Each structure stands twice: as structure tokens, then as C-alpha cells.
Amino acid sequence: MKTVNKYIYKELIAPFFFGVAAFTGIFIGTDLIFKLTEYYTEWGVNVITLIRLFFLSLPAIIVVTFPMASLLGTIMAYNRLSGDSEITAMRAGGISVIAIVMPALLMGLVTSGVTIAINEFLVPEANYQSEQIIYQFKHGEQRPETQYDLFLNPIDSQTHRPDYMLYARTFNADSGEMKNVVVQIFENGHPARVLEAQSAKWLTDGWHFYNGTVYFLDKSNRQPALEFSSYRSREDIHSPAQAGKLGKDIDEMNIRQLREKITLQEEQGRTAYEERVELHQRFAIPLASFIFALLAAPLGIKPQRSAGSATGFGISIIIIFIYYILMTVGDALGSKGSIAPWLGAWLQNIVIFLVGSIMLYRSARQ
């Protein structure tokens, strides 16, 4: 059995890497190369920078092409084995269909794990570096970290009323500074005081506000209580690192950072449907390698009149097209809250998994 498994693995590896090269080439030729050409012709970007952008774009492309390559490689490998009657010989020798397709499933699972790792450790940083480079040659300076119109409104989980409301005209997470700040403090769910300040800075002991006024509120009046040049807030206001996550692009976040952003948004009373869909997709899209292998193996072991690469490529394109239609629909419904975000992210995988399982079961019964 080990000899048979090694033989099937060898058959799977070559078409898998062929699929990686083919689909990566398609993405590069239909999208990336046009962007790089535009950067060169319209912005005069030098060749070294274009090469950097090219390689920074590859991790995100690989995350998409690995599942496609798993699908194509599995179909082509088992088509070849079936076309040469090797599948028939294996089954005649007492090897079950499950045992025959197991190498493809294991290889798909390993590919999924590698894809998750790439998506977690390489893609966010590559996207961040790429956006920094693009902003710099378009605007002639580094991309500023300043966020405009920051608004924080965390909701108490027990009373479902605001802890505080903070507005800042500008906010820089790196320097920990805010300008033109207004903070309304609540006590027992009711407005207690308002703080207005020209600026604020995060120090080791919390937020310090400068050049402003504190107003105490009651039911009958709103009067200045304290004017200050420096004021240390005793309220538990979000740190710059926490607040900065609310304005960061989710494509530049790893899973931990994305989870933190979801928590912060929900503390603000926001739904975070889109972010939850994205979080689940960080696992759902890489696991498509395993799901595709589950579907492709029973497709491939069926007797084929033509077992060439063109047939396998054509079948792969059709399945990928259906997969991405389902993914687009699920993404749209999940991001709007029409269905649960996890279902929106996993919809295409669930459908393909069910179809593949049924096909594998029928193949095993034959």
C-alpha cells in the first residue's frame, strides 16, 4: 500500500505545480502586469520598484492559485491513472476507492495548511508594504498614519449604554496624538461631563489632554467647571494601538489583529459583519484545496475518453467558476447580515464538500 501511495503522490505533484504555474501566470498576465505597466507609463516608476511590487503581489496570488492548482492537479493525475486503466488494476488488486483518493485528500489538506500560513504571515505584511510603495510614488511622500474623524463609542455589555463618546478631528496611532478632541463621559448610563481639548497625547499613564475645558452636566444646566492647560483623564479610554485598529485596512491585518478589530467594533455597537466574513474566509479559502481534492478525485477516477490536460483544465475552470459565484453570493449576503457571516464565508465550501462527498460515496459503491 505504501508503494501505491508513493506512486499516486508522484502523479499528483507534477500536475499540481503545473496548475500553480498556469493559474499564477493567468493572474499575472490578466491583472498584475497591467497594473505594473500603468505604474511605469503614468507614474514613471523605476524597474527596481516594479520588481518589488511584483514579488509583494505574489503571496496574495498564491493563496488563490493553490486551491485551483489542487483541483487541476487532482483531476489530471486521476484522469491519467484512469485513462491508462491503472485505477481498474488497483481496484482489482483489492484497493478501495477511499484508499486510492486518500493521497489526494492528504495532499489537499497539507496544501490548505501551507496556504493558511502564507495568508497569515506573508500576505498582510506584503499588502502593507505594497500600499506604502504605491502611495509614496503617487503622492511623493510616505503614507501618513493619521486618521481623520475618529469616533469611539464603546457600549457597556451589561447596561447596553455608552461608556463614553469620543470624537477627534485627527488621530495618529503611531505618535499617540489627537487634535480637536471632544469626550462625553457617562455615569450609570447618563451624561456626566464633557471635555473639550485642542489636543491629547497618550503617555505611560493614559491620555493627557491639553488646552481645553471640562463641563459638568446636570438636568438643569451646562456650565464650564474647569479650564485647563493640561488634564489627565481618569477614564478608561482606548489606547492608540486599540483605536488605530478601527481605521486599518483589513487586507493588512493578520487573524489576531482582525479579531481585535471585530471586538473593538462590536464594543462600539457596530455589527462588523464584513470583518467577520473576512475572518472566516481566512480559513475557508485556503481549505478549498482540500475541498477541491475531495471533488476532483471521484471526477478523475471515472473512465474518460480523453484524459488530456485540456480536459482537466476545462473541468477545473467550470468548477472554479461555480465556486467563485457561490463565494461572491455568500460574501454579499454575509457582509449585509442577510445570513450569518460564518455561513456567508463557508457557503461555497459547504456546497462543494457535499457534492464531493456524494460523488466519492457513489464511486466507492460501484
Angle at 225 (CA atoms; ends 221, 228), nearest 5 degrees:
145
Whether the Cβ atoms of residue 20 and residue 65 lie closer than 8 Å to each other = yes
Residues 6+ apart with CB under 8 A from 265: 246, 271, 272, 275
Residues 6+ apart with CB under 8 A from 353: 291, 294
Please tell me the pTM assigned to this model.
0.85
The pLDDT assigned to 223 comes to: 61
Burial (CB count within 10 angstroms: exposed 0-12, middle 13-18, buried 19+), residue 85: exposed
CA proximity to 352, closest of 285, 277, 306: 285
Cα–Cα distance, 144 to 103 (Å, whole number): 49
* Segment (H or E) for 170: strand 164-172
Task: Kindly report, residue by residue over 203-250, the tens digit of the pLDDT.
Answer: 988 899 999 999 888 766 556 577 788 888 777 788 887 777 777 789
Task: Kindly report, residue by residue over 247-284, the tens digit of the pLDDT.
Answer: 778 999 999 999 988 988 888 878 899 999 999 999 99
Three-state DSSP at 177 gives strand
The pLDDT assigned to 114 comes to: 98
pLDDT in tens, the chain (366 residues): 688 999 999 999 999 999 999 999 999 999 999 999 999 999 999 999 999 999 999 999 999 999 999 999 999 999 989 888 899 899 988 899 999 999 999 999 999 999 999 999 999 999 999 999 999 999 888 877 778 888 888 887 777 788 889 999 999 988 899 999 999 988 877 888 899 999 999 998 889 999 999 988 876 655 657 778 888 877 778 888 777 777 778 999 999 999 988 988 888 878 899 999 999 999 999 999 999 999 999 998 876 555 556 777 888 999 999 999 999 999 999 999 999 999 999 999 999 999 999 999 998 887
Whether the Cβ atoms of residue 49 and residue 40 lie closer than 8 Å to each other = no
